[in-house]
């Protein structure tokens, strides 16, 4: 089916989601910081042959409400739970990318009845580290987000500029166009503005170091696939390895030709690894 938009009320805000349908059990996809549900389209379309697929705009992102407070990995988990409760979903295949993966892991550890299986793509679940090191990383990420250019004269101008940025250089063309189309809104002056405010993205990065979620990882007992790109930064590669080691029975797989933004760089490879994981005796009945 063509993707359709919907909204639910959860935790005092309105959350937007995209639904691709399908006749199977539920699958819910959570995006990374700064992005939005619609970027899952190539992956969601493939999964809809086996699952009833939803993707959620995190609070502060896409067309979901943008409150001042309530950001961080536990809040992502709480909003996923609220979304599931609103639609009556349980035993979900939950797939998260980066901060979305952290939210999935947090919910799987604390409320296991909601998650039947989890796919954690480039999870940003950091172990405890010296405060000086943590502060430097938080500051670098949050200051960059706060300075992000928000307004563009056209989608083509945004695409041309982003194509020159290292983080977006490997994106498939269709994914970059989806971001330009669905990740912006038309202002009264005719220009386009990004839907995720830089100040909200900055707050999330300030709270991106997550020893609380790291400590919860051994409490996850559902089947888990951890995916990382082969060209991701060294720290994130080590984090993915550590996450997989702390979850009993977790499977760690590397996506060739991808970095931290693997779902937008190699969506076909991501789908292939997810399907392979589900085929190892772990497929929903």
* Per-residue confidence in pLDDT tens, the chain, 285 aa: 789 999 999 999 999 999 999 989 999 999 999 999 999 999 999 999 999 999 999 999 999 999 988 888 899 999 999 999 999 999 999 999 999 999 999 999 999 999 999 999 999 999 987 677 767 776 766 777 777 899 999 999 999 999 999 999 999 999 999 999 999 999 999 999 999 988 888 888 777 677 789 999 999 999 999 999 999 999 999 999 999 999 999 999 999 999 999 999 999 999 999 999 999 433 333
> Cβ(187)–Cβ(151) under 8 Å?
yes
**pLDDT at residue number 147:** 77
In a 3-state reduction of DSSP, which class is residue 73?
Answer: helix
Domains of the chain from N-terminus onward: 4-128+210-278 (3.40.50.1820)
Produce one character per residue of 252-274: b if its CB has 16 or more CB atoms within 10 Å, e if not: bbbbeebbbbbbbbbbebbbebb
- β-strand pairing of 224-229 with 251-255: parallel
- Could you tell me the pTM of the whole model? 0.94
**pLDDT at residue number 285:** 31
Spatial separation of the C-alpha atoms in residues 204 and 145, rounded to whole Å: 10
**pLDDT at residue number 283:** 36
**pLDDT at residue number 141:** 67
**pLDDT at residue number 114:** 98
Nearest to 56 by CA among 168, 68, 85: 85
Dihedral sign for Cα atoms in the order 255, 137, 34, 48: positive
């Amino acid at each position: 089916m063509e993707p359709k938009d919907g909204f639910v009320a959860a935790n005092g805000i309105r959350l937007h989601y995209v639904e691709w349908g399908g006749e199977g059990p539920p699958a819910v996809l959570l995006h990374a910081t700064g992005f939005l549900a619609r970027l899952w389209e190539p992956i969601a379309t493939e999964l809809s042959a086996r699952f009833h697929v939803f993707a959620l705009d995190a609070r502060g992102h896409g067309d979901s409400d943008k409150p001042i407070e309530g950001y961080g990995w536990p809040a992502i988990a709480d909003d996923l739970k609220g979304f599931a409760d609103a639609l009556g979903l349980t035993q979900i295949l939950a797939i998260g990318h980066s901060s979305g993966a952290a939210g999935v892991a947090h919910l799987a550890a604390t409320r296991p009845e909601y998650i039947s299986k989890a796919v954690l793509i480039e999870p940003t679940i950091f172990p405890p580290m010296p405060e000086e090191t943590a502060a430097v990383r938080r500051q670098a990420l949050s200051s960059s987000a706060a300075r992000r250019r928000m307004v563009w004269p056209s989608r083509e101008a945004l695409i041309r500029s982003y194509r020159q940025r290292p983080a977006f250089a490997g994106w498939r063309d269709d994914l970059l166009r989806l971001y330009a189309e669905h990740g912006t809104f038309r202002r009264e002056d005719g220009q386009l503005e990004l839907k995720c405010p830089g100040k909200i993205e900055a707050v999330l990065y300030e709270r991106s170091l997550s020893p609380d979620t790291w400590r919860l990882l051994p409490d996850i007992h559902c089947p888990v696939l951890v995916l990382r790109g082969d060209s991701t930064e060294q720290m994130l590669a080590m984090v993915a390895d550590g996450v997989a080691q702390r979850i009993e029975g977790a499977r760690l797989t590397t996506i060739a030709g991808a970095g931290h933004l693997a779902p937008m760089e190699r969506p076909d490879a991501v789908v292939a690894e997810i399907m392979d994981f589900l085929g190892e005796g772990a497929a929903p009945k």
